[in-house]
Amino acid sequence: MSTKQKTLLVQGYEVVIGFETHAQLSTQSKIFSRAPIAFGAEPNTQACAVDLALPGTLPVMNKGAVARAIEFGLAVGSHIAEESIFARKNYFYPDLPKGYQISQFEIPVVQGGEVSFFVGDEKKTVRLVRAHLEEDAGKSLHEDFIGQSGIDLNRAGTPLLEIVTEPDIRSSEEAVAYAKELHKIVTWIGICDGNMQEGSFRCDANVSVRKPGAPLGTRREIKNLNSFKFMQQAIDFEVRWQIEQIEDGFEIQQATVLFDPDTGETRAMRTKEDAADYRYFPDPDLPPLVIGRDWVARVQAEMTELPRVMAARFVADYGLPEYDATTLTQSKAMAAYFEAAAKACGQAGGHDWPHCRQHHQQQRSQASL
């Protein structure tokens, strides 16, 4: 298959998208405290002194969160940093009692890597910049209190892995296919429950447009896309809006925008902060995160067979086209069903198998896998 990408154009413009995805890690307790992270509890019943930022409390790293970050890095072919640093990202918001979020800035735990998937029958690869560990903030509740807001700190300190791509995505279809593939990877390896309604997997899409060959345009970041359907609608609207602005002679201003599913439109929430506005600095309460190669090797040894490894095995063992092997490894259940059926038909590579394949190809025209 050719890896060369054809240029997709919308009204003569090339669409450029980079993704930042927050995957909530499926640990028992929070990233720096012992409070539980179960969803849907009574407000403020799952926040301890550390999450409330009471004076004198100190964060303690949750090893399970680090193990899950390592697992993710191995799944997407990243470098696992032997030493990474936690930093304070400073901003004021009522649901952030410390006045800063603990995140990773200059040296993240997971570096590089890539995610490959099919868009139609075209194979696409998106490069990852990094994935870093951070804590979630609490929640402001505006609806339940007349004229007042409530603060629920149950979510404060929930472990997140923020996965950042290069601006390699070229259409809303590719964006949705990327997000679905990433969702498949994190749920397959079991580091995230993937529940989008509950916010366990939320995507921010950075969108810009440019004339082919021109430098990158100014981006606007669509925040908190928590359904694949809204993701596609939001990006399509945003692309049309940006092209219209440029055609009308306006310049795009860098901004953070929200998608409103009721109107199908995106609207600016705030002008975008730059990294410098957050006054990042290394958190003096947390030493550097040191990960020995032996730990990485142990995590690797315990990992389940990855979908792309399984797909490659299906190609080698059963002579399947790559597209078919990829389709069959969209879910663990389907892959297991296929292998059971293949075994029932005869051994992998055995003389009975080509007959099964022919049968499978006939079926394909009738049933959609």
Beta carbons of 74 and 58 less than 8 angstroms apart: no
Q: Which does 166 bind (CB under 5 to 8 A by kind): ligand ADP, Mg ion, none?
A: ligand ADP
Query: 187 or 206: whose CB is closer to ligand ADP?
Result: 206
CB of 77 to ligand ADP, least distance (A): 18
Q: Which tokens in the block code for residue 113?
A: 């890597």
| Least CB distance to ligand ADP at residue 339 (A) | 36
Q: CB of residue 17 vs ligand ADP: minimum separation in angstroms?
A: 6
In the bound state, the residue with its beta carbon closest to ligand ADP is 18
User: What are the start-end ranges of the E strands in the chain?
Assistant: 9-10, 13-24, 79-80, 83-84, 87-90, 100-103, 110-111, 114-119, 122-135, 139-141, 150-152, 159-165, 201-210, 220-225, 255-260, 265-271, 281-282, 289-290
Can you tell me the distance from the alpha carbon of 15 to that of 8, in angstroms, rounded to the nearest whole number?
8
Q: Which residues of 175-190 are buried (b: 16+ CB within 10 A; e: fewer)?
A: bbbbbebbbbbbbbbe
Q: Write down the residue that tokens 């099919």 correspond to.
A: 118
Nearer to ligand ADP, 164 or 315 (CB): 164
Q: How many residues does the chain have?
A: 369
**Of 235 and 311, which CB lies nearer to ligand ADP in the complex structure?**
235
Q: Which two tokens stand for residue 166?
A: 């290069």
Binding-site partner at residue 17 among Mg ion, ligand ADP, none, CB < 5 to 8 Å by type: ligand ADP
Would you say 155 or 170 has its CB closer to ligand ADP? 170
Residues in Cβ contact with 27 at an 8 Å cutoff, skipping those fewer than 6 apart: 37, 62, 64, 65, 68, 159
* Residue ranges in 6-65 that form contacts with Mg ion under rule CB under 5 A: 20
* 106: partner contacted, choices Mg ion, ligand ADP, none (Cβ within 5-8 A by kind): none
Question: Minimum distance from CB of 170 to ligand ADP (Å)?
Answer: 10
Positions touching ligand ADP (CB under 6 A) are: 16-20, 164-167, 206-208, 216-217, 219, 275
208 binds, among ligand ADP, Mg ion, none (CB under 5 to 8 A by kind): ligand ADP
> In whole angstroms, how far apart are CA 160 and each of 16, 49, 101, 218, 226?
26, 20, 12, 27, 15
Nearer to Mg ion, 103 or 187 (CB): 103
Task: Give the CB-nearest residue to Mg ion.
Answer: 20
Angle, nearest 10°, between helix axes 63-75 and 293-302?
A: 70
Under rule CB under 5 A, how many of the chain's residues touch Mg ion?
Answer: 1
Of the pair 71, 238, the CB lying nearest ligand ADP is at 238
Residues of this chain, 212-251, that bind Mg ion according to CB under 5 A: none
- Binding region for Mg ion (CB under 5 A): 20
